[in-house]
Amino acid sequence: MWCCVLLFAMAWAIWWLLRDRQTISGLSDKHVFITGCDTGFGNLLAKRLSRKGFQVLAGCLTQSGADDLQKACPLGLKTTLVDVTSQDSIAKAVEWVKTEVGDRGLYGLVNNAGIANPIGPTEWMTVQDYRKVMEVNTFGTIAVTLAFLPLLKKAQGRIVNMASILGRLSANGGGYCVSKFAVEAFSDSLRRDIQHFGVKVCIIEPGFFKTAVTDLDSIERSLQKLWDQMPPETKRSYGETYFQQYLKVQRIIMNFICDPDISKVPKCIEHALQARYPRTRYSPGWDAKFVWLPASYMPAFIVDAALAFVLPKPEQRVC
């Protein structure tokens, strides 16, 4: 009995590996539009795809980012400015892409643009703090996707949405985890709704990598601003010691857990675009695979206890 089960598992694993390695051809005829290409994952992805032979259409937020990327990749790549929080900017990007792709349609859309700050204890936030992050990460992803869907259906293309492993498990307050949970839900419903048109939807769930999103100086400046503007009563309930300890714990965790090899994320996106049978979800990063993903399946009380052990305790708390 067990021998049969083992043989079946081995046969399935071999079949999956062989299937997973099959790729498509004719990359030079395929256009891919990427948002958030100024720096980080998007910037590196645009360069990798252009070297692979894709026709890359890179959306940048700033002119300097667009100029630098164009200089780095003069062939197989074109840039444009796009602000995913502006419907007018998205509409202009769609018209620009239409002129580039012609009747072939758009093969790939990568919703990479995103921000994280402010992150921190939930009570320190305002509703506007949540809106600021979700406007980019969630509504920006939704708006761009809906605008490009007709072109993607024409090419029977692929949509790759940048979520996060923190879209599986909410480890901190602020709009980041909330926005990434929403991206997961949007991507799942979108995948089921448009599969009949030959359009595939993939979700990227990175762990912690050394990018602008995880820059400690930026995170700490944001936290300091939250702390300074907090009502005195709320501030007293936490205590000055809590704030300093929170910063210290955060530094230790981020310095330990952040992976400096950010190429792991673009490699996953590249597979999602180039594989004949792309995966539904990719979780690049050792922490994503061995910490956050397993923790997301654990009972909530275990995860709550672990985070409570790691994080500092407020001064005015129920003992």
Which three-class secondary structure state does DSSP give residue 115? coil
Share of the chain above pLDDT 90, in %: 67
pLDDT given for residue 317 in this prediction: 61
pLDDT given for residue 15 in this prediction: 78
204 pLDDT band (50/70/90 cuts)? very high
**CA–CA separation, 192 and 178 (whole Å):** 22
Q: Mean of the pLDDT values across residues 121-142? A: 95
* Structural contact between residues 233 and 315, judged by C-beta atoms closer than 8 angstroms: no
Say yes or no to pLDDT of 134 above 80: yes
Q: Mean of the pLDDT values across residues 236-263? A: 88
**CA–CA separation, 263 and 275 (whole Å):** 18
pLDDT given for residue 77 in this prediction: 93
Say yes or no to pLDDT of 261 above 70: yes
Say yes or no to pLDDT of 316 above 70: no
Q: Output b/e per residue, 198-209; b: 16+ Cβ within 10 A.
A: ebbbbbbbbbbb
pLDDT given for residue 14 in this prediction: 84
pLDDT given for residue 11 in this prediction: 79
The amino acid sitting at 189 is S
212 pLDDT band (50/70/90 cuts)? confident
pLDDT given for residue 149 in this prediction: 97
Active-site positions read: 176
Rounded (10°) CA dihedral 75, 55, 72, 92:
110
The amino acid sitting at 15 is W
177 pLDDT band (50/70/90 cuts)? very high
pLDDT, tens digit, 9 for 90 and up, residues 32-69: 999 999 999 999 999 999 999 899 999 999 999 999 99
